[in-house]
Amino acid sequence: MIEVRPFAQLGAANHGWLQARHHFSFAEYHDPQRMNWGPLRVWNDDEIAPNSGFPTHPHRDMEIITYVRQGAITHKDSLGNQGRTEAGDVQVMSAGTGIAHSEYNLEDSPSKIFQIWIQPNQSGLPPAWGTRPFPKAERAGAFVTLASGYAEDQDALPIRTNARMAAATLQAGQSTEYPLGAARKAYLVAASGSFEVNGVATQARDGVAVRNEEVIRLTALEDSEIILVDMA
């Protein structure tokens, strides 16, 4: 089963400094048919104006992944962590028993991010944060796991949930496969470009919900940067 959720039909919010699209119910956007996809609870497509951002606010019991599509995001939290994550790179925050953080675009141009929240499978653990670069050349033509709750994914940022986040960059006409397994679900979004997934065409920033598919076969219709979350 493959369901395309067109970008134009996503929830929308305009806060001036923040232009947001919501793949799932979030804040003032509520759609009872789109509350989650398995443990995937939030996928926000955010554009943050220069020299603005999210002031300090708390989280708990959520795995929060930020994928930077353009520009950079500067993070600061109550654990004393500080970091700047650039386009193509990833940061992960395990909120655990509680953490407060801020995320700002301190650049001179807009920053664009995907912010992804996945429900954890563990509770009562201390909060944690991490970031790392993932050069796009490493994922040219095939998916590379960026964040994972599985010990075998040693090069990925750790998350506390039965899920993986992966990314691939495909040139127009290039194909790749992702072995999902019929018992698992996936959600895919192209940060740029367009592609077919098991023969179904999608456009940039559409959401693609997948289940009951043993293998996901992707073909780029144009140069594409694709983000995937694979979950139990």
- The tens digit of pLDDT for each residue in 104-118 reads 999 999 999 999 999
pLDDT of residue 209: 98
Model pLDDT for residues 26-37, shown as the tens digit of each residue: 999 999 999 999
Rg of the chain, C-alpha, whole Å: 17
Is residue 61 over pLDDT 90?
yes
Contact 183/210 with Cβ under 8 angstroms?
A: no
What percent of the chain has pLDDT above 90?
A: 96
* Strand arrangement of the beta sheet that strand 99-105 belongs to: 52-59, 99-105, 72-77, 82-86
pLDDT of residue 134: 86
**Structural domain spans, the chain:** 2-231
Beta bridge partners of 47: 19, 112
Average pLDDT over residues 129-134: 92
CA distance 51 to 34: 32
Is residue 138 over pLDDT 90?
no
- Beta strand 224-231 with 163-170: parallel, antiparallel or unpaired? antiparallel
* Confidence class for position 14, pLDDT limits 50, 70, 90: very high
Contact 202/226 with Cβ under 8 angstroms?
A: no
Q: Model's pTM, two decimal places?
A: 0.96
- Beta strand 52-59 with 128-132: parallel, antiparallel or unpaired? unpaired
Contact 75/114 with Cβ under 8 angstroms?
A: no
What percent of the chain has pLDDT above 70?
A: 100
Beta bridge partners of 57: 101
CA distance 146 to 27: 27
pLDDT of residue 136: 78
CATH number attached to the domain at 2-231: 2.60.120.10
